[in-house]
Amino acid sequence: MKINIGTRRSELAQVQANTIMAMIKEEYNIDCEKVLIETKGDKILNVTLDKIGGKGLFVKEIEHAMIDGKADMAVHSMKDVPYDIPQEFEIVAIPVREDVRDAFVAFNNISFYDLPKGARIGTSSIRRGTQIKIIRPDVEIVPIRGNVQTRIAKIEKENLDGIILAAAGLKRLNMENIITNYFNVEEMVPAIAQGALGIEMVKNHPLIDMIKKLECYDARICVDAERSFMATLNGDCHGCIGAYAYLNGDDMHMLGIFDVNGKIVKKQISGDKNEYINLGIMLAKNVLEDK
């Protein structure tokens, strides 16, 4: 028996797929093979995502491969998965989550907070760019896209003072050493589900029950709380939206940010972790009260 795993071609996507393959091998002693798929989001790199259709561009072709039987499952960065996935699919497992923070990378190792006035910062994320301008209104945001290595190369090519990347991706690539500093989650609210991987499958696939055992319940309910916040706000990459949920015993604490008619609103909420979906909805409604 062999399991085929659909994934994007980037080094990071393949490392993420390798992580799941290793879990399956350890748990069930079953070998897996990667099915490499180039998505529309990987092909169009000269335009920001909000201009070409949003984050779903990284998953559609992989979903088609599952429908066609070329892949048994897909491994995604959960922050690339829209909240309204097609009804024939299911996110069957979210394993243990990596670091959720955003990180600043500068070749000369100057801390973000010590950058000269008017420094040029690379990021294609509206969420990151908006929050950076709140911390440092003087900096210039330069849109950059591409895989991690491509973006790092653009620091020199585009004469940037630094770029912002997800800490999780750099850690998975064993590139933690290039991080100049981390942003705490209060000053830079992470993307929805940042640091989390999701395993997507066609509903009723014969292997679903087996793969569901790779689930980390704590990671799942935090990610689902954040996604309920996004769904309630009908949020995507076309605007500034972020959320982070974490557990403290039986309590869930949640922080969210959203652009409400041009005003950036940041709110927090806490409650019973068993009410995780409702907490995301309530946080979204609290944010919208600032109209």
**Structural domains of the chain, count:** 3
Check residue 180 and give its pLDDT: 97
Please tell me whether residues 1 and 132 are part of one structural domain.
Answer: no
Residue 187 lies in a domain: no
Strands 197-202 and 73-77: antiparallel
What distance in Å separates the CA atoms of residue 276 and residue 291, rounded to the nearest whole number? 24
Question: What string of pLDDT tens digits covers the 291 residues of the chain?
Answer: 899 999 999 899 999 999 999 999 999 999 999 999 987 655 554 555 454 445 556 688 899 999 999 999 999 999 989 888 999 999 999 999 999 999 999 978 899 999 999 999 999 899 999 999 999 999 999 999 888 999 999 999 999 999 999 999 999 999 999 999 999 999 999 999 999 999 999 999 999 999 999 999 999 999 999 999 999 998 765 789 999 999 999 999 999 999 999 999 999 999 999 999 999 999 999 999 976
Please tell me whether residues 287 and 245 are part of one structural domain.
Answer: yes
What distance in Å separates the CA atoms of residue 220 and residue 276, rounded to the nearest whole number? 10
Residues 187-213 as b/e (b if ≥16 CB within 10 A, e otherwise) read: ebbbbbbbbbbbbbbbeebebbebbee
Please tell me whether residues 211 and 222 are part of one structural domain.
Answer: no
Residue 53 lies in a domain: yes
Please tell me whether residues 226 and 92 are part of one structural domain.
Answer: no
DSSP 96: -
Please tell me whether residues 201 and 92 are part of one structural domain.
Answer: yes
Q: Which two tokens stand for residue 149?
A: 């290595």
Catalytic residue among 42, 68, 72, 80: 80
Residue 188 lies in a domain: no
Please tell me whether residues 90 and 106 are part of one structural domain.
Answer: no
Query: Are the C-beta atoms of residues 42 and 72 closer than 8 Å to each other?
Result: no
Please tell me whether residues 121 and 234 are part of one structural domain.
Answer: no
CATH, residue 165? 3.40.190.10
Please tell me whether residues 9 and 83 are part of one structural domain.
Answer: yes
Please tell me whether residues 136 and 200 are part of one structural domain.
Answer: no
Rg of the chain on CA atoms, in Å? 19
What distance in Å separates the CA atoms of residue 171 and residue 166, rounded to the nearest whole number? 9
Check residue 31 and give its pLDDT: 97
How far from each other are the two terminal CA atoms of the chain, in whole angstroms? Answer: 55
CA distances from 150 to 23, 38, 170, 178 (A): 29, 16, 13, 14
Residue 191 lies in a domain: no
Check residue 232 and give its pLDDT: 95
Please tell me whether residues 88 and 140 are part of one structural domain.
Answer: no
What distance in Å separates the CA atoms of residue 269 and residue 187, rounded to the nearest whole number? 16
Please tell me whether residues 204 and 88 are part of one structural domain.
Answer: yes
Check residue 239 and give its pLDDT: 84
Residue 190 lies in a domain: no
CATH, residue 221? 3.30.160.40
What distance in Å separates the CA atoms of residue 124 and residue 145, rounded to the nearest whole number? 6
Determine the structural domain holding residue 230 and report its residue range: 217-291
Best CA proximity match to 195, nearest among 16, 68, 6: 16
Q: For residue 236, which amino acid is it?
A: D
Mapping DSSP to helix (H, G, I), strand (E, B) and coil, where does residue 192 land?
A: coil
84 in active site:
no
Residue 36 lies in a domain: yes
Partners of 200 in beta bridges: 74, 91
Please tell me whether residues 66 and 210 are part of one structural domain.
Answer: yes
What distance in Å separates the CA atoms of residue 260 and residue 241, rounded to the nearest whole number? 10
Q: For residue 2, which amino acid is it?
A: K
